Structure 1
Amino acid sequence: MIVILGTGGTIAGTAKTASDGVGYTAAQLRVEDLLAAVPALAGHKLEAQQVAQLDSKDMDFATWQRLAVAVQQQLDRPEVSGVVITHGTDTLEETAYFLHRVLAPAKPVVLTAAMRPATALAPDGPQNLFDAVQVAGTPGARGVVVAFAGRVHDAVQVRKTHSYRVDTFESVDGAVVARVEEGSVRTVGRWPAGEALGLAHIAAPTDRWPRVEIVMNHAGANGAVVRALRASGIDGLVAAGTGNGTLSVALDTALREAEAGGVRVVRSTRCDAGPVMDLPGLLPSAGALSPVKARIELILALLAEA
């Protein structure tokens, strides 16, 4: 048995005309509608549940909390071999990383999505959903992964890298887990594993979760945004630095002032790939995490300290 959890997104979006691939409204169809559009899944033992119905640009902590609980409930059922989550592409990498850190499941949890709405001339959602089900049913599969455009990505590595192409997701250091070819899953890397933080870690009401924001280094970065955020009352900051997490003198000064005032600060990079080295005398590194994933990691760390 594979359970499909729907959260909305472009995969469930509709437009007024089939030729409109960008002027659509996301999250219009329910997960049962998505399954009905894939006749090849008719012979599979599936269950469907609508957990949320939103455009993933509007993803929030409350939905993450509810989704994590729903996924764990399904994984706890002995008859369930895997879970598929339909999602929007905009924040899919964040949701995937969040679920990876909180649940680190021994069964596969497969997120999938689409770049074209369900009403498009050639929608990509049905194929991605079909592939995701194949991945969820693959013997030996485990962990949180993303099945998209024929490739399976590790939740830690995956990033959305293009605003329009249907193969938008990449494993930034090349660590693709598997490929889906005509319904067959060919493993080419390692399935993700890790130590689960557990649902108790995120049980606090979401309006009490730490507030962590992202600031970027760029030409002329003067630290004013950091000081404004401090004045508004934040708990953490992720600096998306240039190159190897480098920061302008003014931005670095403002971030160190924030750190001295009790705000947790880490450095990531605005580059598409590569780690930030943890060097003496510099602000703490986020390692190879992208700024948005470093933000999640810092939120989870601060939750543990609350």
Structure 2
Amino acid sequence: MVLGTGGTIAGTARQAGDQVGYTAAQIGIDALLESVATFHGVPLEAEQVAQVDSKDMDHAVWLQLAQRCAAALERSDVQGVVVTHGTDTLEESAYFLQRVLAPRKPLVLTGAMRPATALLSDGPQNLADAVAVARSDQVAGVLVVFAGQVHESEAVSKRHSFQLEAFSSGERGLLGVVEGGALRLLHAGPVCAAPAPGLLARLPSDARAWPRVAIVTSHAGADGAVVDALANLGVAGIVVAATGSGTVHRSLLEALKRARAAGIRVVRASRCAQGRVLPRPDDELPHAAGLSPVKARIALMLDLAIGAGE
């Protein structure tokens, strides 16, 4: 089953050589599948779940996508699911789906860095590779397949704004690669955070009711004004993208402590591309372990939505 959500892989430009000035989410999933010759004879079903530029991805689309993925994964005749997605928030959607579904079959997200109308679009090959991984019996769970590389949802992040190999799994490393249309694993896995039982069913059916969680960044000259403003707006949680292994500017820290005393959940993640927040006995704020700020926001939002403790 291939589910389309838009993104650059479905994007078009007025000129074939234009790889920047294009409009995302213009081509339907059926047309994308028809453009890949290797799919002829492959038993595929397609469904257009959404048609958005992934910078505009929202919780309502996430909920609909998770529900459609869950329905497909429950079918005995579905071996795996592929989701086409824009690259800007692909890592967030992948982590969200892993947390709420933890599928026992492959659920693979892919996309493209160049629009479908580019002279050398990377979308068709990425889509072919994603389908190959989704049809494999070697893996399960939510994966990201991009530029011939296979990433785990918890580790993957977009690390380049333009290059075709835009995604990295940092210190975790690749789970595998796709070679000649076949998956080759590089290590055992995937190992991802297990979801709470029945998490998807426990989320509010109206995504507008999901807890509001914001991200703030610690930096030179930071103060607490943004945190105080967020508290006044009634946010339920705040993730601070901290420096280094979780350090926070003292002025920002005082505001975060005030927010926490007022009942707002606060979590520290590191703004560094690699490494994690290391716990210390004198920590004043809880940490997000190895999660990036954007994934820590999702984890905190889900915890708040189901009433999980700190």
**Alpha carbons 2:153, 2:192 under 8 Å: kept:** no
Name the CA distance, whole Å, in 1 between partners of 2:186 and 2:11: 32
Name the CA distance, whole Å, in 2 between partners of 1:159 and 1:194: 16
Partner residue, 2:174: 176
Partner residue, 1:144: 142
**TM (normalized to structure 1)?**
0.97
SS in 1 for 2:107: strand
After TM superposition, the runs of 4+ consecutive aligned structure 1 residues lying more than 4 A away are: none
Name the CA distance, whole Å, in 2 between partners of 1:48 and 1:66: 15
Letter in 1 for 2:297: R
Q: Kindly tell me: are residues 275 and 194 of structure 1, through their superposed partners in 2, closer, same or farther at Cα, counting changes over 3 Å?
A: closer
SS in 2 for 1:46: coil
Partner residue, 1:82: 80
SS in 1 for 2:163: coil
Name the CA distance, whole Å, in 2 between partners of 1:226 and 1:155: 29
**TM (normalized to structure 2)?**
0.96
Greater displacement, 137-146 / 272-281? 272-281
Greater displacement, 66-75 / 187-196? 187-196
SS in 1 for 2:175: strand
Name the CA distance, whole Å, in 2 between partners of 1:191 and 1:140: 10
Partner residue, 1:50: 48
SS in 1 for 2:305: helix
Name the CA distance, whole Å, in 2 between partners of 1:192 and 1:78: 24
Name the CA distance, whole Å, in 1 between partners of 2:195 and 2:298: 15
Name the CA distance, whole Å, in 2 between partners of 1:203 and 1:84: 25
**Alpha carbons 1:144, 1:192 under 8 Å: kept:** no
SS in 2 for 1:81: coil
Partner residue, 1:195: 194
Name the CA distance, whole Å, in 1 between partners of 2:195 and 2:303: 13
Name the CA distance, whole Å, in 2 between partners of 1:28 and 1:257: 46
Partner residue, 1:253: 254
Greater displacement, 86-95 / 39-48? 39-48
Of 281, 285, 288 in structure 1, the residue corresponding to residue 287 of structure 2 is 285
Letter in 1 for 2:217: M
Partner residue, 2:238: 237
Letter in 2 for 1:217: S
Q: Tell me the CA shift for residue 21 of structure 1.
A: 0.1
Partner residue, 2:302: 300
Name the CA distance, whole Å, in 2 between partners of 1:243 and 1:266: 15
SS in 1 for 2:171: coil
Provide structure 1 residue ranges, at least 5 long, that are not aligned to the other structure: none
The reply to whether residue 124 of structure 1 matches residue 125 of structure 2 is: no
Of 98, 110, 113 in structure 1, the residue corresponding to residue 111 of structure 2 is 113
**Alpha carbons 2:108, 2:142 under 8 Å: kept:** yes
Name the CA distance, whole Å, in 2 between partners of 1:263 and 1:218: 21
| 1:247-271 residue CA offsets vs partner (Å, 9 max, x unmatched) | 1110000000100010000000110
**Alpha carbons 1:10, 1:88 under 8 Å: kept:** yes
Q: Tell me the CA shift for residue 91 of structure 1.
A: 0.3
**Alpha carbons 1:142, 1:192 under 8 Å: kept:** no
Name the CA distance, whole Å, in 1 between partners of 2:162 and 2:173: 23
| 1:190-248 residue CA offsets vs partner (Å, 9 max, x unmatched) | 13455343321224311111000000011100111101111111100000001111111
Greater displacement, 185-194 / 82-91? 185-194
Name the CA distance, whole Å, in 2 between partners of 1:255 and 1:61: 25
Count of aligned residue pairs for this structure pair:
304
Letter in 2 for 1:23: G
Partner residue, 1:39: 37
Letter in 1 for 2:158: K
Name the CA distance, whole Å, in 2 between partners of 1:109 and 1:270: 28
Q: CA RMSD in A?
A: 1.1
Letter in 2 for 1:123: S
Name the CA distance, whole Å, in 2 between partners of 1:231 and 1:172: 37
Q: Kindly tell me: are residues 164 and 278 of structure 1, through their superposed partners in 2, closer, same or farther at Cα, counting changes over 3 Å?
A: same
Name the CA distance, whole Å, in 2 between partners of 1:281 and 1:193: 28
SS in 1 for 2:239: strand
Letter in 2 for 1:184: A
Letter in 2 for 1:293: K
